[in-house]
Amino acid sequence: MNTFGDSFTFTSFGESHSAAIGGVLDGVPAGLHIDLDLIRANLDRRAGRNQQSAAGVSARAKNEADEVEWLSGVLDGVTLGTPVAFLIRNKDARPEDYEAFKHSFRQAHADSTYEAKYGIRDWRGGGRASARETTARVVAGSVAQQMLAEQGITIRATLVQVGAETRPGHFDETIARYRADGDSIGGIIRCEVTGLPTGLGEPIFDKLQAHLAYAILSINACKGFDYGSGFDGVTQPGSIANRQSGGLLGGITDGTTLSFRCVFKPTPSTPKAFAQMQNEKIVNRPIVNRSDSCVAVRAVPVVEAMTALVLANFIAITKKIQKNHSSM
């Protein structure tokens, strides 16, 4: 349930306020030099320290210290072919900020569904449901990105829409406007992958788009995924929609750029939402400045990370089949 992939796997662990979060990567080939700078850069983007739009990111996020400690699988910076385990200590331990939620649920958060499911929950900052968990995904995805880069594959995600705004240079002011109103806003990310070989993906249940959708929809706050002609293509006749494969035909890469979109809802934890909840007597204490006004901003490197995990898994699988075939 906390493991992603089958031939190249990532097992994730940690709550937002447990001793540490981290993960285990299995199937990393021996001999890969770990690029610590790439990991650092991606963690900074996730933490809002180096973003397309800075306005959407909370002060807390920017101050988060994400020091990766490597536990196994690496000797002198080079992978051994054995499981690569890492952890990041949770330093920002201020559960008192969340004390109010010990006996109440935040609206549109997973607090209530977790309680219903487990009968127990770590109420400190969302626990396992916290977006803090995506930090481990970014570390894992960065290692996968390096495996892909060795094969000439590049992944690049970009924020392309915030609210109704589609002009990149204007995202900051849009977010600032919603923030000033004590509110939040959603965003759409486009992700493009170049350098993919033709033939990646499987015909039936393991279509590449199916695995990408699974990976992307597993990110907190993501509400949708489309590729190629997508939802907008519904108004196009076949003679036109034809030309927008999104890089995939029948679940398999066709050699053109892979291109998909995903949408992130606005965070529900806003002063405005809180005021409503107070009126409805759901909570009795303000939420202060700990959440982003546009979570899509920080989701960009997470989308890249999950895409990398999917592709690294398929690169491995496909290599096998090609090899088998050629030997017969």
48 within 8 A of 160, measured Cβ to Cβ: no
Q: Which is nearer to its own copies, 50 or 107 (CB)?
A: 107
185 within 8 A of 174, measured Cβ to Cβ: yes
d(CA 125, CA 111): 10
> Minimum Å distance from CB 43 to its own copies?
19
> Minimum Å distance from CB 77 to its own copies?
12
> Minimum Å distance from CB 166 to its own copies?
10
The 3-state DSSP class for residue 95 equals helix
Q: In angstroms, what CA-CA distances link 285 with 46, 95, 112, 114, 290? A: 28, 14, 18, 21, 14
Report the 10 Å Cβ neighbour count for 328: 4
Q: Which is nearer to its own copies, 104 or 107 (CB)?
A: 107
Q: Which is nearer to its own copies, 44 or 202 (CB)?
A: 202
Q: How far from each other are the two terminal CA atoms of the chain, in whole angstroms?
A: 37
Q: Which is nearer to its own copies, 50 or 73 (CB)?
A: 73
> Minimum Å distance from CB 174 to its own copies?
11
288 within 8 A of 120, measured Cβ to Cβ: no
Q: Which is nearer to its own copies, 119 or 169 (CB)?
A: 119
Token duo for residue 175:
């977010």
> Minimum Å distance from CB 82 to its own copies?
4
